[in-house]
Amino acid sequence: MISPQDFLVNWNEEIYGLIHYNEKIIHSFSFSKETKDFLIKAGFPESAPPFLTFETADNGGGIRLSEIQNELGTMYDKFIYFGFTGSGNPICIDEAKSQLVYIDYDNENKVVLINSTIEKFAESLLVYVEFIKEVKAANGRKAYIEKNIPKGLVEWISSALRKIDAAALTEGCFWTEELGSFSE
């Protein structure tokens, strides 16, 4: 698993930025020790492919989802909001499991796994950024946006993500949906 320090060394902060969270706020949640350490030492990117955006505490990051979306009810109290997907669905950490998930508003508020841990999410982002670089090198600057991706690179990223977090590549999970969009 990647450490917060290794992520900081490898993440291109000039392009994607980083958001750091207040230690006091993070310690108020019952996340795993590893999740707390990662959020305090490395944080989340301001933005990251594929079309993910994270928010500072001043913009609502690091609070219970039910405080932002009180119509969701108390069953969503365990989800701590940190950002949103390109579709506007909230990205959260499940406080009980320390998993990174999003809540699919278009699918009856279904909880969708992004990654099993924040460390696995960080590793996944690093290989996904590399994947995009390779796609652009192979097929041009707009290739990723236009989904003009060589089959071999789709196989490579699928394999790389599976090695990092096999659970995140099961049916109905975020990364499976993302990779599936390349074969549409």
The CATH number of whichever domain residue 10 belongs to comes to 3.40.1580
- The pLDDT of residue 91 is 98
Question: pLDDT tens for residues 34-64?
Answer: 999 999 999 999 999 999 999 998 888 999 9
CA distance 152 to 104: 30
CA distance 118 to 67: 22
Angle 106-102-183 (CA atoms, 0-180°, nearest 5)?
Answer: 70
| Per-residue pLDDT band at 183 (split at 50, 70, 90) | confident
Helices and strands per DSSP (H, E), number in the chain:
8, 7
Q: Do residue 17 and residue 98 come from a single domain?
A: yes
Domain termination residue (choose one: 63, 86, 117): 117
The arithmetic mean of pLDDT across residues 147-161, rounded, is 95
Contact status, residue 115 vs residue 127, Cβ threshold 8 Å: no
- The pLDDT of residue 142 is 95
Q: Do residue 16 and residue 100 come from a single domain?
A: yes
Q: Do residue 106 and residue 38 come from a single domain?
A: yes
Over 80: is that where the pLDDT of 95 sits?
yes
Instruction: Tell me how far CA of residue 135 lies from CA of 4, 149, 179, in angstroms.
Output: 27, 6, 13
The arithmetic mean of pLDDT across residues 14-20, rounded, is 91
CA distance 1 to 47: 22
CA distance 183 to 71: 36
Torsion angle of C-alpha atoms 22, 28, 33, 39, degrees rounded to 10: -30
The arithmetic mean of pLDDT across residues 63-86, rounded, is 86
- The pLDDT of residue 68 is 82
Domain termination residue (choose one: 64, 83, 117): 117
Domain termination residue (choose one: 98, 117, 136): 117
Structural domain of 31: 4-117
**Count of domains observed in the chain:** 2
Question: pLDDT tens for residues 98-122?
Answer: 999 999 989 988 999 999 999 999 9
In whole numbers, what is the pLDDT of the chain averaged over residues? 93
Please tell me which residue, 156 or 22, carries the higher pLDDT value. Answer: 156
